[in-house]
Structures are given as C-alpha cells and as structure tokens.
Amino acid sequence: MIDEKLFIKISDTNFHVFDVTTIKDIEKIYKLYPRKEMIRDIMKEKIIAKYNKIELPEKITVEIFLLLSEFCFQNKVEPLEACALFKIISDVLNLIRKKRDKREIYENFKKFVLTFAMNRFSTQIGILQKETVYLITTFFIEYIYKRFNMIHYCLTNKDCITLETREASNYDLPKVEEISSGTEILPRNAKILRQYFESHRPKTELEQKIEMVLEFEREKLDKKMEKIFQEQDDEFNAKIEELFKKKK
C-alpha cells in the first residue's frame, strides 16, 4: 500500500487525485459496508464541502458516488485507485454540469483515464492497473453513458419556461341552424332524393330488356355515324390532294 503523504511528496501536482476522497476515506467506506446510509452521509459531507449546498444535482452526485463506492468495494479496488476513480467520475459529472454533449463527455472520460493510467512522469506512480481501467470503463458505460440524458437533466440548471397558448388565426365558423328547427321531408317529395333512391332501386326485368335494346341500337347508330364521318374525311382528303396536283 502506498502512503498518501509519500505519494503527494513524490508528485507535486498529483493531478488532484484526492480532490474527492482520500485513502483514509476509502478505507473507512470499505469498513462500513454494507451500511449504505452511513456511506451516503460521508459522500454528502464531501459534496456539501465542495458545493456548499445539497440540492437535486448534488443529491444525484451523492447517489452516483455511493454506487461507485459499492462498485469499488465489490471489485476489491485498491484505496489509492479508488481515489483516482472518484476523481475521474467527479470530473465527468462536472463536465455534464457544464452542459457538454454525450460525445464530448466520452472523449474526456478516456483522457481522464489515460491521465491516471499512463500519462505520468517518470517520478510518478501509475495509479490505475489494467484491470482497474476495465472496471472504471464498465462503470462509466453502465451508470453514466447509458443514462446520460437522465443525469444531464438532473445535473443542469433549469430555466423557467412560460408556455402560452394562442390562437393561430381568428375566424368565424359558418352559422348552421339547429337540425331540430328543420322541416321533415319525405324522400318521395324531394327531387334529388327521389332520383337517388330511384337510381339505387333494383331494376325490373322489363327495364333490363329495354336497356339491352337501347344499348344495341346505340351501338348500331355509333357504327353508322363513324362510317359516315370516315367517308366524309376520305372525300375531303381526296379533294385536297386534287388541288395540290393542279397547283403543281
């Protein structure tokens, strides 16, 4: 186990690893399990110390930290590594508070992890092991990335919005008399209704025969007229051709 004071002495900047929790905090949290209420109180104290309030965004942060502490305990993450994980998730939540989009959050998360896993000076100690990098990535995807819209809504400030309903346009509907004020008219007394009902009435056998005869005669007349028109067209065309010949 690495002593916290020694670690700070070796790394002057230390990337603010202990901004959220210290090694002693993590050890205390591990001892308290499974008493979640007491662990929640510890997280709440950390959040109040940072933001000086405990409203909805801070309450959501407390619950995410509670999930992370349980996640670290169940996966037996070393206290120093757990401090780094709390710092990473805290930085991610701060970016969400600033209304950054989902893709930007993901890219910054990768940078945070690389900072604690690889991008260290030679005099500094690489905090995160390969297995821990996998664990924090799993936590980020399951509890933050997949629930990004909900967390984003809870962490960001809400502007007051007043909704007003207004008419798109003003118009008057046509005045329609009440149906009760009308006069009842029987179908046989209304010409249009009478024609409608008569047209939908089944035809008698005699009416059908008459229609057949009329249709036959109409076809004969159509053919006769077509023949007459054709003869007239031929005669006209012949006269035109004769005139052209005479001009030549």
Contact status, residue 150 vs residue 144, Cβ threshold 8 Å: no
pLDDT of 190 higher than 80: no
Average pLDDT, the chain: 76
Distance CA 154, CA 59 (A): 9
Report which listed range, 98-112, 124-138, 177-191, is most confident.
98-112
Distance CA 69, CA 235 (A): 107
Place of tokens 């206290």: 79
Q: What is the 3-state secondary structure (H, E, C) of 95-163?
A: HHHCCCCHHHHHHHHHHHHHHHHCCCCCCCCCCCCHHHHHHHHHHHHHHHHCCHHHHHHHHCCCCCCCC
| Gap between the terminal Cα atoms of the chain | 122
Distance CA 179, CA 187 (A): 17
In the prediction, which pLDDT does 5 show?
Answer: 59
Query: Residue 205: which H helix or E strand, with range?
Result: helix 205-247
Q: Model confidence at 12, in pLDDT bands (50, 70, 90)?
A: very low
Secondary structure percentages of the chain, helix, strand, coil, to 5: 70, 0, 30
CA atoms 52, 53, 57, 58: torsion sign: positive
Contact status, residue 90 vs residue 83, Cβ threshold 8 Å: no
| pLDDT digits 0-9 by tens, 30-50 | 888 888 888 888 888 877 777
pTM of the complete model: 0.56
Residue type, 222: D
pLDDT of 119 higher than 70: no
